[in-house]
Amino acid sequence: MRIITGKYKGRHFDVPHTFKARPTTDFAKENLFNVLRAYVDFEDTRALDLFGGTGSISLELLSRGCPRVVTVEKDRRHFAFIAQVMRKLADPAALPLCGDALRYAERATEQFDLVFADPPYALPELSELPERIMGGNLLAEGGLFVLEHGKDHDFSWRTDFLEQRTYGSVNFSFFRKKSAEPV
């Protein structure tokens, strides 16, 4: 796994072959971040990476200068790998957490400008994630939610849906949390 751009550009980390997580391909990741640049200013973005997997997305967010990147990963071996990589970077913006992403999303009191979720494609709750994230307090007003998913999901009917991008077998759906109406 390599970091594509930013202050950690070119850094490589060897993901153990025994991992179940499928890291987002460099092609998809590069295109994702090209799209994200149009939506967010990374240096002002508090980011949450749910279902951290290998930590690939979190590392890209850190490399681009996000002042806060929280990564939630349930699998203890994956979490240990993410924590080890983040210790090597010694970036004070990084906060890896070992825990269930759905529970974290339900109970978190901190708000984020960007929430990225790359759940297992077979996760039974995957189709509910936009409602859970957009309907809760996790995402700040005007914040962006990005969901990575397989081809079998279509969220274009949602009023907070912005667009869907497809890169091979990887799909990203983008959602924007509306700002509160002035009173």
We report the CATH number of the domain holding residue 161 as 3.40.50.150
**Amino acid identity, position 175:** F
Could you tell me the pLDDT band of residue 65, with boundaries at 50, 70 and 90? very high
| 70 found inside a domain | yes
Cα of first residue to Cα of last residue in the chain, in angstroms, is: 48
Q: Is residue 17 part of a domain?
A: no
Residue 7 domain-assigned (yes or no): no
Residues 68, 182: Cα–Cα separation, whole Å: 29
The domain tally of the chain equals 1
Cβ–Cβ under 8 Å, residues 73 and 51? yes
pLDDT at 180: 66
pLDDT of 179 over the 80 cut: no
Is the residue at 16 inside a domain? no
Residue 6, domain member (yes or no): no
Question: What is the residue-averaged pLDDT of the chain?
Answer: 93
Q: Which residues pair with 23 in a beta bridge?
A: none
Predicted TM-score (pTM) of the model is 0.94
Does residue 57 sit in helix, strand or coil?
helix
The per-residue pLDDT for range 126-175, each reduced to its tens digit, is 999 999 999 989 999 999 999 999 898 999 999 999 999 999 889 999 99
DSSP letter assigned to residue 76: H
Q: What is the domain extent for residue 33?
A: 26-176
Q: Residue 166: helix, strand or coil by DSSP?
A: strand
Q: Is residue 163 part of a domain?
A: yes
Residue 1 belongs to some domain of the structure: no
Here the tokens at position 20 are: 């179940």
Q: At what angle do helices 26-39 and 56-63 cross, to 10 degrees?
A: 50
How many angstroms separate the CA atoms of 92 and 112, rounded? Answer: 17
Question: What's the rounded Cα separation, in Å, for the pair 96 and 3?
Answer: 17
Residue 19 lies in a domain: no
**Across residues 8-34, what is the average pLDDT?**
86
Contact of 161 with 143, CB cutoff 8 Å: no
